[in-house]
Amino acid sequence: MTPFGTRLAAAMAEHGPLCVGIDPHPGLLAGWGLPDDAAGLREFAMRVVEVLGGRVAALKPQSALFERHGSAGVAVLEDVLAACRETGTLSVLDVKRGDIGSTMAGYAQAYLADGAPLAADAVTLSPYLGLGSLAPAVELAHATGRGVFVLALTSNPEGASVQHAVGADGRAVAAGIVDGVGALNAGGPVPTGLGSVGLVVGATIGDAARRLGIDLAGSRAPLLAPGFGAQGAGRAEVAEVFAGAEQAVLASTSRAVLAAGPDGLAGAAEQAVADVHAALGR
């Protein structure tokens, strides 16, 4: 399979740098007039895929909001990922897994192996048991043409206490993660352009990357960037966070599109793509 980084670059060039979350929050289900059960979950999620599949670069189901419905919800998630494949739209499964040894290998098999019921084009991972602990997932992703997005600089207030902490080498934890991801991309299957190991970087983190001496562009990582849409990241915020790395940004938005309801999804997504293009200056 063509490496994920190459496929993502092509999808962003064709459809714009937008990833729309599939986040079936109880409030959104109610707003759509749907019950908060597996049937409502299915109607909601499959409608998003039906309308936006083939129109945006990627779709990002939030696993927790399916898992809360137990096995019935996970069955819906399997069908949603299969539907994404049928439309040719990249799927980024938001699971934020992070563990060690055989457990990490198990997560990798669940989400990144060919033929796995929950296989996605990419998954989100947490590196805070050490970036090296993610090796089973990175290796399998490279082998199957899939990708991973590693949490680096998130916008939640609690994240800074870990991510901005400075180690004995004088480097912030997040800087070490970005450097490590850059090394993984340098040794990965994509020699130039976007690599297949990405980073999650919030669009509302302000000057954190610059202040911590982090070179986002040098990592060659696709940058999954929550904070657009409802969280309000615009041209000024983007310029501060992603200066020099704008071409790598895959903007993530959920409620700003989903709140438009089933009949307004297409228009809301088109507006979101235009807004992202304007914010990124591309």
Distance (Å, whole) CA 270 – CA 108? 33
Predicted TM-score of the model (pTM)? 0.97
Catalytic residue selected from 96, 164, 171, 277: 96
Distances (CA, A) of 145 to 53, 207, 266: 20, 33, 29
Tell me the mean pLDDT in the region 138-146.
Answer: 98
Q: Which amino acid is at 30?
A: A
Q: Which of 230, 42, 4, 255 is nearest to 123 (CA)?
A: 4
pLDDT at 178: 98
Q: Which of 123, 111, 129 is nearest to 150 (CA)?
A: 123
Distances (CA, A) of 95 to 47, 57, 69, 156, 279: 21, 19, 15, 17, 27
Longest dimension (CA), the chain: 54
Alpha helices in the chain (DSSP H): 4-15, 26-31, 38-52, 63-67, 70-87, 101-112, 135-144, 160-163, 173-186, 208-211, 235-242, 255-258, 265-280
Distance (Å, whole) CA 38 – CA 66? 8
Mean of pLDDT over the chain: 95
Binned at pLDDT 50, 70 and 90, residue 176 comes out as very high
pLDDT (tens digit, 9 = 90+) per residue, 106-128? 999 999 999 999 999 999 999 99
Annotated active-site residue 60? The verdict is: no
Distances (CA, A) of 148 to 83, 118, 186, 251: 20, 14, 15, 16
pLDDT at 270: 95
Residues 6+ apart with CB under 8 A from 134: 98, 104, 125, 127, 148, 150
Tell me the mean pLDDT in the region 25-42.
Answer: 98
pLDDT (tens digit, 9 = 90+) per residue, 207-248? 999 999 999 999 999 999 998 765 666 777 888 899 999 999
Distance (Å, whole) CA 113 – CA 110? 7
> Which range is least confidently modeled, 83-97, 186-200, 235-249?
235-249
